Chain A
């Protein structure tokens, strides 16, 4: 038996075997784990934390198990992409033209996903390790986009099981960097990745499908900031967020026309966090840093505040893009892309909202501007200004 090099999707006409397939125990565990990872929503998988774990790692599987693994990945990954957001009716750029519909309407012919050795190594590693104290997972071969996607699916389960993602394989995964900068943040800066593969071809299709999930991740990241007590952790998370979003914005603008619609998850997250209304309340700047233990040098404190404002600062780029889109004339070839951005993100510039009762956690709601982008700019400025520093008691002092 040789380890798999490529797992192609089986033909659609493949018929299930007449008799149940027979596989070894280790192969059965591998297949069960694969099915669990490709199941809806992050749920606790006891097999990821089973003690004692560290069973012998499998390096190859038989042809029957390989066939089943191919089938599981082909069907499971496709289903998960549709379930996690592909079903939503959206408007996106397809070959420079705006298309409306769900994922399979916008892209009637989906390019095949090629799973390679890194996917097999990931599954074998998950089967043999306790993700709370795992040995290193690093790949010798460059992961394909499909491998990257499987790492992304696995990441949610690992975190849900109480494990951590501080592994080279996850740090070097573009999708994991985009979705989990908080979980990947460490003393070492994140590796610089080229994210261009995610803004065209099948990469862009995957990111389109994952927009709602990515938005939810960024909302969760921001909502977790008030719980952070350690100044160093806030600084690292902010640096990781800035790092990945800088790479993402740069990659988006390499396409022609730029696929700025692929940053829509940030706009969605901004609306969720900053829109004020009967149900959504905009916090003031102290909310982001309310959990921090401020007994630290002012320089460290300021670095943490700058980290806390990383997401808010990044929204400024979306504002610049909107301003640029408004200047694109109708005869320009990027006109359609610009109009898509203006219509999709119009809620960022103007927020006609009904008057809301003052929320309990806010102290200076009256000073917040109406538009989401203006709020983000003001909150970031407040977090980074001299007024936020000083003794801990002064932090709540309005500017």
Chain B
């Protein structure tokens, strides 16, 4: 008569997971002045908004949550990105029935089952981390949109003023902050 054995198997998985997310978009700035002049105006506004210039000419800012905003003034592109990483240390244990004490095949099956469960959990944790990063970016996007729109508007307004000054004698400038309208009277 055969005797039933219970084999306890434990597996662990240690892994470093890293996720990132990001988007790139164009700043909506009208072509009023030359690209170089527009870039100079944009750089001035970016500096006032707390951006810092890198050696490659791009301007960047990182907030307290690690969301990085990069602006290329020459191309008028803005890149928003965030990343996160986490160290996983997962452990699983199971007990399986076997017909012999040294039933290697059953032990191997149990081990593979545990491995697949650990892999699935690691994938799930990575997905959760990805969702966290995306949610963090989404949360920042609303304010960032408004800020970038304001920067674009200020650059456009300043470009219009400079263009008007180059055309003749500026007699009157009136701005309505509520509607965003700008009226420049020029004497040619």
Contact = CB atoms under 8 A, between A and B. Distances in A.
Given A386-B141, A390-B141, A297 B134 contact: yes
Contacts of B22: 298-299
Given A297-B134, A298-B137, A390 B142 contact: yes
B144 interface: yes
Given A298-B23, A302-B23, A389 B28 contact: no
Contacts of A386: 23, 25, 78, 80, 141, 144-145, 148
Contacts of A390: 138, 141-142, 145
Contacts of B148: 386
B76 interface: no
Interface string A376-391: 0000010011110111
A297 B144 CA distance: 18
Contacts of A389: 23, 138, 141
B58 interface: no
A391 B142 CA distance: 9
Nearest to B81: A299
A102 B78 CA distance: 51
B21 interface: yes
B145 A298 contact: no
A361 B113 CA distance: 51
Contact of B21 (A299, A385, A391): A299
A218 to B, nearest CB: 26
Nearest to B24: A302
B53 to A, nearest CB: 22
A311 B142 CA distance: 28
A296 B142 CA distance: 18
Interface in B1-46: 21-26, 28
Q: Is the interface of A mostly helix, strand, loop or mixed?
A: helix
B130 interface: yes
Contact of A391 (B23, B138, B145): B138
A140 interface: no
Nearest to A296: B134
B interface, how many residues as a size bin? 10 to 19
A187 interface: no
B25 A385 contact: yes
A387 B145 CA distance: 7
A385 B28 contact: yes
Interface string B131-164: 0011001100110110010000000000000000
A119 B144 CA distance: 57
A395 to B, nearest CB: 11
B25 A384 contact: yes
B34 to A, nearest CB: 21
Nearest to B142: A390
Contacts of B28: 381, 385
A394 B144 CA distance: 14
Contacts of B21: 297-299
B143 to A, nearest CB: 11
A238 to B, nearest CB: 16
A139 to B, nearest CB: 41
Contacts of A384: 25-26
A88 B148 CA distance: 51
Interface in A333-386: 381, 384-386
A390 B78 CA distance: 15
Interface in A255-301: 296-299, 301
A302 B24 CA distance: 8
A394 B130 contact: no
A379 to B, nearest CB: 14
B138 A298 contact: yes
Given A296-B134, A394-B142, 5 more contacts: A297-B133, A298-B22, A298-B137, A385-B26, A390-B141
14 contacts: A298-B21, A298-B138, A301-B23, A302-B25, A384-B25, A384-B26, A385-B25, A386-B23, A386-B78, A386-B141, A386-B145, A390-B138, A390-B142, A390-B145
Those 10 A-B pairs whose CB atoms lie nearest each other, nearest first: A297-B21, A390-B141, A386-B25, A302-B23, A298-B23, A297-B134, A391-B138, A386-B145, A298-B21, A298-B137
Interface of A: 296-299, 301-302, 381, 384-387, 389-391, 394
